[in-house]
Amino acid sequence: MSVDASEPIAEIDRILGDDPACDVAKNIAKNIVALPPSQAKYISYSQLAKFGHVEPADGRLLQCVATLTSGRVHLLNVFYVYENVNGEEYKISPEQLQEAHRHGFLVDPDSGEAVKDFRKHLYPYFERSN
Amino acid sequence: MFFFFYNAGTPYSDPNARLLKLIEAFQERAPFYVAKRVFQRHQVPIGHGWENTIEAATGYKGVADVDGLVTAYLDHICSGEKSVRFYDLGNANVDNLRLQYQNFKNAPFLPLPLSGQQLQKAQLCDPTLVYVHQTPTGIAAIYSSVRKKDERQRLSVQSLPKAAQQAIGDFEEIIGIHSRKVQAYDVVWVPNNGRIIEVRADFLGNETQETVTNAHQKIYADVHVKSGSKALIAPVDLFPAIKPIYDNSNEGIVIELAFATSTGSTKHEKMRDKDACLRKEVYHVNGKAALAADIEPYRIGVRWVLTDQHGEFSSPELFLDGRATMAASTSPGLFSAIIRKCSDSLEYSEIKQKLESYL
């Protein structure tokens, strides 16, 4: 079942107003709220670009992501997937990420080895927050 | 002789040295998250990754349950990260095999694996029986071998000498293959009751299929001789378990499935979210619904969430990796199952019993 778009869209209007990113954010929001819950769990950055009818490299997209994940709109949660050298993927919890930043390396969940350049191997994904 | 014994006078008579050696031994064979669960049970300090865990344990003044950790290590050798084959030997042959193992002259202490330079200098060798572990429910006959495995490693170009960096050109990262030796422990499990034995070959990741198959064959050859069997016995075919496991929606979480369709395609699907079951995934459900004929699964990966006696969660996995053509055969011949991420033999037995219930 999809969720109601009116509240997040009103909040986007209040935050972005006349900003060129406003329509992009609203397009994304409309598409996100239309998704059934089981299809709103693993949304890539490029999928958001398609929802917003912009290219992934478009600067407005970053602004939209910041707005849609903000506490005020809170339509999207971001999470990170780590891909190891064998192509295996691991969803990284916020605690794991915090630890990685604190120590300066991420621990590969399978091998337990330190991954110092972990930022290069983390991929952001989004899920609808409710 | 390539084993260490921790009797008096050896470096491992010191509990802290023994603790460090055991951590190193776990590092060689257990996924980090499995090792962490074992360490928690035995009050071993855990750091951020293996390196920090070893650092935390060095000179550790707390009270780690080192003897408990030795037992847990033995348990992991017997039941952790395994490629399993089942053989129905028949009553007489199983009795002979049991007797042969009971008569094996055991070393007085649990052998610990080689590591570092000693391991890298050791000759590659086939599995040899080194230790017989009698448990209340059966015998675990432990075979040891030195095998080779290839690990992919990321190398930073910046870490290379200037000349190499220039020769490589415009690359930021290189993937290297680190070929190294590992000491593997394969186990023959002979239950106190029943005539079906198991060969549990180590499957620690990154070994080639040939290496693991070779270990299975070498160990079966020894079992064949010890059991006095007149005929060669084929392992139990596990392929018939795949479809009923998939069809039982209450049985674990399907994380991987490969199947053939009557439209002439094969599909290999995996869940990226390990907590979600592929059986219920929208694309999978609707793709299936669009077909007039049933799909034919030939490969499955299932994960279970188990709770142990202390209320701790674990998530062992079973993989049955068949090929598409097996679904078209009257004798498919899928002989090995992979059972991974078990932290002890209780978890392993639970997964094994689930598998057996479909055969």
Phi-psi region of A12 (alpha: psi -120 to 50; beta: other; left: phi over 0): alpha
Tokens of A37: 């819950």
| pLDDT tens digits for range A118-129 | 999 999 999 999
State whether A81 and B272 contact (CB < 8 Å): yes
| In chain B, % of residues over pLDDT 90 | 72
Q: What is the mean pLDDT of chain B?
A: 91
Q: How many CB pairs under 8 A join A and B?
A: 54
pLDDT exceeds 50 at position B1: no
Among B50, B175, B205, select the one facing A113 at the smallest CB separation: B50
| pLDDT tens digits for range B320-332 | 999 999 988 889 9
pLDDT exceeds 80 at position B316: yes
State whether A89 and B35 contact (CB < 8 Å): no
CB burial string A66-84: b at 16+ within 10 A, e below: ebbbeeebebbeebbbbeb
B62 pLDDT band, cuts 50/70/90, is confident
- Predicted local distance difference test score (pLDDT) of residue A2: 53
Cβ-based contacts of B173 with chain A (< 8 Å)? 120
pLDDT exceeds 70 at position B110: no
CA distance A85 to chain B (A): 6
Average of per-residue pLDDT across B212-233: 95
- Predicted local distance difference test score (pLDDT) of residue B5: 45
Cβ-based contacts of A88 with chain B (< 8 Å)? none
Tokens of A85: 């050298």
Among A38, A39, A113, select the one facing B49 at the smallest CB separation: A113
- Predicted local distance difference test score (pLDDT) of residue B309: 77
Q: For residue B335, how many other CB atoms are within 10 A of its CB? A: 19
- Predicted local distance difference test score (pLDDT) of residue B9: 53
Whether the CB of B154 is below 8 Å from some CB of chain A: the reply is yes
B291 pLDDT band, cuts 50/70/90, is very high
Q: Where are the domains of chain A?
A: 6-75, 78-128
Chain A residues near any Cβ of chain B (below 8 Å): 36, 38-39, 41-42, 81, 85-86, 89, 91, 99, 103, 105, 107-114, 117, 120
Whether the CB of B286 is below 8 Å from some CB of chain A: the reply is no
Among B32, B53, B154, select the one facing A110 at the smallest CB separation: B32
State whether B175 and A107 contact (CB < 8 Å): no
Interface predicted TM-score (ipTM) of this complex, two decimals = 0.86
Among B156, B272, B280, select the one facing A117 at the smallest CB separation: B156
* Dihedral sign from CA coordinates of A80, A4, A65, A31: positive
pLDDT exceeds 90 at position A71: yes
- Predicted local distance difference test score (pLDDT) of residue B11: 61
B10 pLDDT band, cuts 50/70/90, is low
State whether B27 and A112 contact (CB < 8 Å): yes
CA distance A116 to chain B (A): 10
| pLDDT tens digits for range B185-213 | 999 999 999 999 999 999 998 788 888 99
Q: Is B301 exposed, middle or buried (0-12, 13-18, 19+ CB in 10 A)?
A: buried
Whether the CB of B249 is below 8 Å from some CB of chain A: the reply is no
Whether the CB of B289 is below 8 Å from some CB of chain A: the reply is no
Mutation site, A35, A38, A119, interface B, largest B CB count within 10 A: A38
CA-to-CA dists, residue B163 to B107, B157, B160, B166, angstroms: 53, 11, 8, 5
How do strand B306-307 and strand B313-314 relate by DSSP bridges?
A: antiparallel
| pLDDT tens digits for range B234-284 | 999 999 999 999 999 999 999 999 999 999 999 999 999 889 999 999 999
State whether A114 and B49 contact (CB < 8 Å): yes
Per the CB < 8 A criterion, the answer to whether A116 and A104 are in contact is yes
State whether B272 and A99 contact (CB < 8 Å): no
Mutation site, B36, B172, B271, B272, interface A, largest A CB count within 10 A: B272
Tokens of A77: 């949660």
pTM: 0.91
Please tell me which residue of chain B has the smallest CA distance to A114. Answer: B49
- Predicted local distance difference test score (pLDDT) of residue B176: 84
Average of per-residue pLDDT across B76-102: 97
Average of per-residue pLDDT across B141-149: 92
Distance CA A18, CA A16 (A): 6
Q: What is the largest CA-CA distance in chain A?
A: 49
Tell me which residue has tokens 């870490």: B159
Whether the CB of B35 is below 8 Å from some CB of chain A: the reply is yes
pLDDT exceeds 90 at position B8: no
Please tell me which residue of chain B has the smallest CA distance to A86. Answer: B152
Chain centroid, CA B98 distance in Å: 24
State whether B282 and A38 contact (CB < 8 Å): yes
| pLDDT tens digits for range A48-69 | 999 999 999 999 999 999 999 9
- Predicted local distance difference test score (pLDDT) of residue A90: 95
Whether the CB of B175 is below 8 Å from some CB of chain A: the reply is yes
Tell me the DSSP string of B263-332: TS-EEEEE-SSTTS-GGG-HHHHHHHHT-SSPPEEEEEEEE--EE-TTS-EE--EEEEE--GGGGG-SS-
Cβ-based contacts of A122 with chain B (< 8 Å)? none
B3 pLDDT band, cuts 50/70/90, is very low
pLDDT exceeds 50 at position B352: yes
pLDDT exceeds 90 at position B359: yes
| pLDDT tens digits for range A3-34 | 678 888 999 999 999 999 999 999 999 999 99
Among residues B92, B88, B78, B20, the alpha carbon closest in space to that of B53 is found at: B20
- Predicted local distance difference test score (pLDDT) of residue A28: 97
Tokens of B31: 């996924």
- Predicted local distance difference test score (pLDDT) of residue B39: 97
State whether A112 and B281 contact (CB < 8 Å): no
